[in-house]
Structure 1
Amino acid sequence: MTWAWSSPTRSSSSSRRARRPRPCCQRRPVPPRPPRDLEPGRCVTLTVCLLGGESSGKSTLALALQGHLSALGWSVALVPEHLRDWCIRHGRAPQAHEQAGLAQEQARQIEQARASPGVELVLADTSALMVAAYSELYFNDPGLYAHALGQQRGYDVNLLMGLDLPWVPDGLFRDGPALREATDRILRRELDRTGIAYHTVYGQGQERLQAALRIIGHRLGTVLVPDPVAARPRQAAWVCERCSDPDCEHRLFTRLTDARSVNPG
């Protein structure tokens, strides 16, 4: 592909001169404008839902997000996992006939938080979809998916926990890493099947927190954490008679190196 750029129009009747294209690099598009910083206090109700099996870091990440976003001045409502609270209160795991009520209550609490005056961000430490997944795993009952997925579709950001964290028992009905992996497969299957967008977040501690913040910030159109790519130093400047673009030189030598590795000699 070739390009021909014309010089700015002048008042004289001289014809426009076509400029030769840069032979060593393609024309670079105009970079998009950086997202503008939003002032806390604007009318925003963004719902962020965390999904993942046992010991996948949902609650830890939810608390970390709440602390970070609140420190930035956002009004945040954290909706805890109703299933976990129910198990602690009753001292047992729920039975098959109790699953639908648990899913409905989780969805109700999320909707209540979304409707609360002044709340800008809702962090849901899981949703009815988790109860539906457990119903399939434990009781071979897929009947809760229709309602749960309908609710899930209305959330703005869905964060699926990566399985790169070690499995840690907490003494509360945890069955082991095999169930965590099975839950992850079910969640991905249902989200993919219904076309619900989600992001998988990996890393431990600050790494996972910053990954989640970048996703949320992108959805908000603001910067919640520095972008590591933007902070990375550019290649050292070099003298080029054609374009003076250090990244272009870097790409040129990378292509040459790759070509030599494929066709040595």
Structure 2
Amino acid sequence: MSLSSPTSPIQPQPGLLIALLGAESTGKSVLAQGLSQALEQATGLRCTTVPEYLRAWCDQHGRTPLASEQLDIARMQAAHIDAAAQTHQLVVCDTTPVMTAVYSQLLFQDSSLWPEALAFQRRCSLTLVTALDLPWVADGMQRDGPQVRAPVDAALRQGLIQAGLSWSVVSGSGAARLESALNAVSPLLMKRHGVPAMPARGLFTRLDERQANLPAWQWLCEKCDVPECEHQSLRLAQKLA
């Protein structure tokens, strides 16, 4: 009599990660919630949002973190995202460890978090960077002031460029900002690659229509959202500096 090993259960494929990165007070949290809801309605996929862990940490401790606490915060952010990806097909990340790396670099002159943060970022299917076109609004102890947004934005983009990672810019206010994000996400989902348990094609009708209705003249040089164009100009500027 031969013994047969029991069949191993099939593990669900982790969900796709859509990362929202950007300086403070650029609408990431509101956009993350709106984007997750809009994508679930348009596709029928199980979508969720993972909030910024730093906010909960500051509320719990009543202060901002020290330099020695940054790594644990970055890793906890990644752990929360990974947990959500086990039970959802699309995960909208309201920041990733990359932003912790940016602030550690600027506030504490510590660049040690970048390698691990970038390794996580490479797992994201799409990175969206929120533009600095919204007015700065105070929000507790986490925010330093409007003067820090430009340096944070510059450090973020420089870090992504040096790592060879691309992104799409999200701009506009209110509904226009959500539309900008959806326009960036739609091509990813329309490829039908890597999305686990893809539902019937009919559920993607709204995304099909959105993509078909985008005007050919949408991308304007004076307000360019094409990642390759923007990245190339930034690389050139760095070489000339």
Q: Name which of structure 1's ranges 163-172 and 214-223 shifts more when overlaid on structure 2.
A: 214-223
Match of 1:58 among 28, 37, 41: 28
The alpha-carbon distance between structure 1 residues 98 and 161, as it changes in their structure 2 partners (threshold 3 A), is: same
Tell me, in whole angstroms, the C-alpha distance in 1 between the residues paired with 2:96 and 2:214. 35
What whole-Å deviation, never above 9, does each CA across 1:140-172 have from its counterpart, x for those lacking one?
Answer: 100000000010011001000001111111223
Tell me, in whole angstroms, the C-alpha distance in 2 between the residues paired with 1:194 and 1:86. 28
Question: 1:101 matched to which residue of 2?
Answer: 72
Question: 1:147 matched to which residue of 2?
Answer: 116
Tell me, in whole angstroms, the C-alpha distance in 2 between the residues paired with 1:206 and 1:166. 16
SS at match of 1:174: coil
Question: 1:88 matched to which residue of 2?
Answer: 59
Q: Percent identity?
A: 41
The question of 1:160 aligning with 2:143 is answered no
TM-score normalised by length of structure 1:
0.67
Tell me, in whole angstroms, the C-alpha distance in 1 between the residues paired with 2:213 and 2:167. 24
Match of 1:110 among 70, 81, 90: 81
Tell me, in whole angstroms, the C-alpha distance in 2 between the residues paired with 1:216 and 1:96. 34
TM-score normalised by length of structure 2:
0.73
SS at match of 1:224: helix
Tell me, in whole angstroms, the C-alpha distance in 2 between the residues paired with 1:98 and 1:61. 27
SS at match of 1:130: helix
Tell me, in whole angstroms, the C-alpha distance in 2 between the residues paired with 1:48 and 1:215. 11
What whole-Å deviation, never above 9, does each CA across 1:34-68 have from its counterpart, x for those lacking one?
Answer: xxxxxxxxx78221000011101100100111221
SS at match of 1:78: strand
The structure where helix makes up a greater share of residues is 2
Question: Could you say which structure has the greater relative contact order, defined with CA pairs below 8 angstroms and 6 or more residues apart?
Answer: 2
Tell me, in whole angstroms, the C-alpha distance in 2 between the residues paired with 1:185 and 1:55. 15
Contact 1:210 1:225 in 2 (8 A): no
What whole-Å deviation, never above 9, does each CA across 1:101-121 have from its counterpart, x for those lacking one?
Answer: 0011111111111122xx111
Which stretches in structure 1 are left out of the alignment for 5+ residues?
A: 1-42, 233-265
Q: Which runs of 4+ in 1 moved over 6 A?
A: none
What whole-Å deviation, never above 9, does each CA across 1:49-88 have from its counterpart, x for those lacking one?
Answer: 0001110110010011122123332211211100111111
Contact 2:14 2:85 in 1 (8 A): no
